[in-house]
């Protein structure tokens, strides 16, 4: 794993070096593409305003993520246990989920205001769907022979859920949770761009209006780092929890 | 495995199984799936502590029979199924018979011990107590030193022993074993057979054992039953008068050969019928 990490870091360094070289060599104007060094300098210089923005976005994403993950898993468990309810609700859920998230964002702003709540709701909504669909898939794809075995031991449906379905679905749940990390950041930032008073999305929007492209890139850099860290942390957790895969 | 062999030698004085009262009795048990008749009036009676083996061509309805006995499948109305002399409707059998399916179905997130205590745990036994009991039985099942391993770290033979331990710890008087050694290599299989007989002679469970292997059926069973091609029916019920404990040398003894010839003929007839019915 450390080998892969080293190669990844090396790849990133080479990419940045190439970027820097191309920008300098061809004299690309900074409003089209600034050099990485310029982005780093701006990020550091503007840290007093960028760090609170990053914190705000991170909090929204994390809160929405936690709520969405819990609700998604609970709903999937409920619908896995109640087949008639599942047949009734699943088509509706899939139809609602088929609409691109951004389409709902203005409504969320209308209902929950331009504060953090609208972002948390949007993130929870998207994360909830992703986790729900992955979890349900995992819960329903369990080996029927295993279910028969547990039933022959006298297990109830809840017992089968607890001792077989849920642990067997953990790899699928983990995939949903991992994919959701990046989505939670995207949704938080996009919703911020549509209406907010804080956060990286708002910073980007504001900086574009002020034609401050270095600041846009600085915010993108921080958003990427935050997203990457979130993704990595969940990945590490996944490898510990789903140790048998 | 040498430990088990030594114990086997020490058990030379074990008497033939007592032919006790009837533990499990099936009378005209049948089952159809739509137009397909899987089981056709199965009559079978197993005495307490008896080891009965069941052979038959593939797809003869053996699994259907086992699922009915485990309480997982409702038989068609008409037949009777008695456990300890009392009628046992399908649902009531869940949790009363220890069922071991063909595949070990060990849970990869549970250690050897925790897999072994799964049934006991479902039955409401305290995890700690169940673990203690399982730990004390680990050596007997050839799993000493592997208690905290995960199934994916074990060989096929060891996995089957964990599955068997889980079945034994379920602590039911009747055990249904569906080809438990089917996936093992010949050598491991022979060791496991002797080990199972050793275990059975000590715990005296009533066992119904499905197998494809006629040698295995004769070597293990007090009785060998043959099931017909679909629709499944018991077409032959042969008592195996070979003395116990049984040693591997028995496999080449003339009386063993005679039994094998007789059973082979019966099974072959059924296999041909199955082949003719299903086409090449």
**What are the boundaries of each domain within chain A?**
1-26+36-45, 48-241
User: ipTM for the complex?
Assistant: 0.82
> What residues contact residue B150 under an 8 Å CB cut-off, 6+ apart?
A244, B108, B109, B110, B111, B112
What's the farthest any 2 CA atoms get from each other in chain A? 74
Residue with the larger pLDDT of the pair A214 and B8: A214
For residue A159, the chain B residues in CB contact (below 8 A) are 122
Please answer whether residues B55 and B226 qualify as being in contact, where contact means their C-beta atoms are separated by less than 8 angstroms: yes
Residue of A nearest to B120 (CA): A153
Fold adopted by A48-241:
MetI-like fold (1.10.3720)
Exposure string of A215-237, with b = 16+ CB inside 10 Å and e = fewer, is bbbbbbbbbeebbeebbeebeee
Q: Looking at beta carbons, which residues of chain A come within 8 Å of B72?
A: 148, 151-152
Residue extents of the structural domains in chain B: 1-11+27-97+174-280, 105-171
**Contacts of residue B91 in chain A, CB cutoff 8 Å?**
none
Interchain pair A243, B121: CB under 8 A = no
CA angle, corner A9, sides to A5 and A14, nearest 5? 150
Instruction: Check B95 against A148: CB less than 8 A apart.
Output: no
- Tell me how close the Cα of B255 comes to any Cα of chain A, in angstroms: 38
Asked if A149 lies within 8 A of B170 by C-beta distance, the reply is no
Any alpha helices (H) in B43-179, and if so which ranges?
Answer: 62-69, 112-116, 118-122, 127-137, 156-169
Burial class (CB in 10 A: 0-12, 13-18, 19+), B143: buried
C-alpha distances in Å from residue B169, one per residue of A169, B174, B182 = 26, 12, 22
Distance (Å, whole) CA B72 – CA A131 = 32
pLDDT in tens, B68-102: 998 889 999 988 999 998 898 877 888 889 989 88
| Chain A residues closer than 8 Å to B105 by CB | 143, 145-146, 149
To the nearest 10°, the Cα dihedral for A156, A160, A163, A164? Answer: 170
Q: In chain B, how many H helices and how many E strands?
A: 9, 10
Instruction: Tell if the CB–CB gap between B67 and A148 is shorter than 8 Å.
Output: yes
In contact, B175 and B144? CB cutoff 8 Å: no
Distance CA B203, CA B196 (A): 10
Closest of A204, A192, A177, A227 to residue A58, by C-alpha: A227
Q: How many CB atoms lie within 10 A of CB B163?
A: 24
User: Which residues of B are less than 8 Å from A155 in CB distance?
Assistant: 122
Q: Distance between CA atoms of A124 and A132, rounded to whole angstroms?
A: 11
Neighbouring-strand partners of residue B208 = B52, B176
- Give pairs for B106-109: CB < 8 Å, separation 24+: B106/B151, B106/B159, B106/B162, B106/B163, B107/A146, B107/A163, B107/A164, B107/A167, B107/A168, B107/B151, B108/A244, B108/B150, B108/B151, B108/B152, B109/A167, B109/A170, B109/A243, B109/A244, B109/B150
Instruction: At A161, list the tokens.
Output: 């859920």
Q: What is the pLDDT along chain A (245 residues), one digit of tens a residue?
A: 578 889 999 999 999 999 999 999 999 998 889 999 999 999 999 999 999 999 999 999 999 999 999 999 999 999 999 999 999 999 999 998 888 878 889 999 999 999 999 999 999 999 999 999 999 999 999 999 999 999 999 999 999 999 999 999 999 999 999 999 999 999 999 999 999 999 999 999 999 999 999 999 999 999 999 999 999 999 999 999 999 98
- Main-chain dihedrals φ then ψ at residue B179, nearest 5 degrees: 45, 55
Q: Phi and psi (nearest 5°) for A120?
A: -60, -40
Determine, for residues A152 and B72 on separate chains, whether the beta-carbon distance falls below 8 Å: yes
CB A198 within 8 A of CB A22: no
Among all residues of chain A, which has the CA nearest to that of B100? Answer: A149
The CATH T-level fold of domain B1-11+27-97+174-280 is: Rossmann fold (3.40.50)
Inter-chain CB proximity B105 and A146 less than 8 Å: yes
Q: Are B209 and B54 in contact (CB under 8 A)?
A: yes
From the list B67, B109, B170, which residue is nearest A153 (CB)? B170
Q: Which pTM does this prediction carry?
A: 0.83
The minimum CA-CA distance between A176 and chain B, rounded to whole Å, is 19
b/e sequence A154-172, b meaning 16+ C-beta within 10 Å: bbeeebbbebbbbbbbbeb
Candidates B68, B95, B122: best to mutate against A (most CBs of A within 10 A) is B122
Residues of A in contact with B71 (CB under 8 A): 151-152
């Amino acid at each position: 794993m450390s080998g892969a990490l080293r190669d990844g870091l090396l790849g990133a360094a080479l990419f940045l070096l190439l970027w820097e070289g191309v920008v300098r060599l061809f004299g690309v104007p900074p409003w089209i593409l600034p050099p990485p060094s310029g982005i780093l300098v701006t990020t550091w210089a503007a840290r007093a305003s960028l760090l609170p923005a990053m914190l705000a976005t991170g909090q929204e994403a994390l809160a929405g993520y936690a709520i969405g993950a819990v609700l998604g898993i609970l709903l999937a468990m409920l619908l896995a246990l109640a087949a008639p309810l599942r047949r009734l609700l699943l088509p509706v859920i899939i139809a609602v989920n088929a609409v691109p998230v951004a389409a709902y964002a203005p409504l969320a702003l209308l209902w929950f205001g331009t504060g953090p709540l609208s972002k948390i709701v949007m993130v929870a909504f998207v994360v909830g769907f992703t986790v729900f669909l992955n979890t349900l898939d995992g819960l329903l794809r369990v080996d029927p022979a295993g279910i028969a075995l547990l039933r022959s031991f006298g297990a109830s449906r809840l017992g089968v859920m607890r001792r077989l379905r849920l642990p067997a679905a953990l790899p699928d749940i983990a995939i949903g949770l991992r994919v959701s990390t990046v989505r939670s950041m995207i949704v938080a930032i996009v919703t911020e761009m549509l209406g907010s008073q804080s956060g990286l999305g708002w910073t980007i929007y504001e900086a574009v209006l002020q034609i401050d492209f270095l600041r846009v890139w600085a915010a993108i850099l921080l958003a990427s780092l935050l997203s990457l860290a979130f993704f990595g942390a969940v990945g590490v957790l996944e490898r510990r929890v789903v140790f048998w895969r | 495995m040498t430990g088990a062999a030594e114990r086997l030698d020490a058990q030379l004085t074990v008497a033939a199984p007592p032919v006790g009262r009837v533990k499990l009795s099936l009378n005209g048990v049948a089952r159809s799936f739509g137009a397909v008749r899987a089981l056709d009036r199965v009559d079978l009676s197993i005495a307490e502590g008896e080891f009965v083996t069941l052979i038959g061509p593939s797809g003869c309805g053996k699994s259907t029979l086992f699922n009915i006995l485990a309480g997982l499948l409702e038989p068609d109305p008409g037949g009777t199924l008695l456990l300890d002399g009392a009628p046992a409707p399908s649902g009531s059998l869940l949790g009363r018979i220890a069922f071991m399916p063909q595949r070990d179905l060990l849970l990869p997130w549970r250690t050897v011990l925790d897999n072994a205590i799964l049934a006991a745990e479902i039955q409401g036994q305290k995890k700690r107590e169940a673990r203690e009991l399982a730990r004390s039985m680990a050596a007997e099942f050839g799993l000493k030193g592997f208690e905290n391993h995960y199934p994916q770290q074990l060989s096929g033979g060891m996995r089957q022993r964990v599955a068997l331990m889980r079945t034994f710890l379920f602590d039911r008087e009747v055990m249904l074993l569906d080809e438990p050694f089917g996936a093992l290599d010949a050598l491991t299989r022979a060791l496991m057979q002797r080990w199972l007989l050793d275990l059975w002679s000590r715990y005296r469970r009533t066992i119904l054992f499905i197998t494809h292997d006629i040698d295995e059926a004769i070597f293990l069973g007090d009785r060998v039953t043959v099931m017909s091609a679909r629709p499944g029916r018991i077409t032959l019920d042969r008592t195996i008068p070979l003395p116990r404990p049984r040693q591997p040398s028995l496999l080449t003894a003339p009386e063993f050969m005679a039994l094998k010839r007789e059973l082979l003929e019966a099974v072959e007839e059924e296999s041909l019928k199955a082949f003719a019915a299903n086409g090449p």
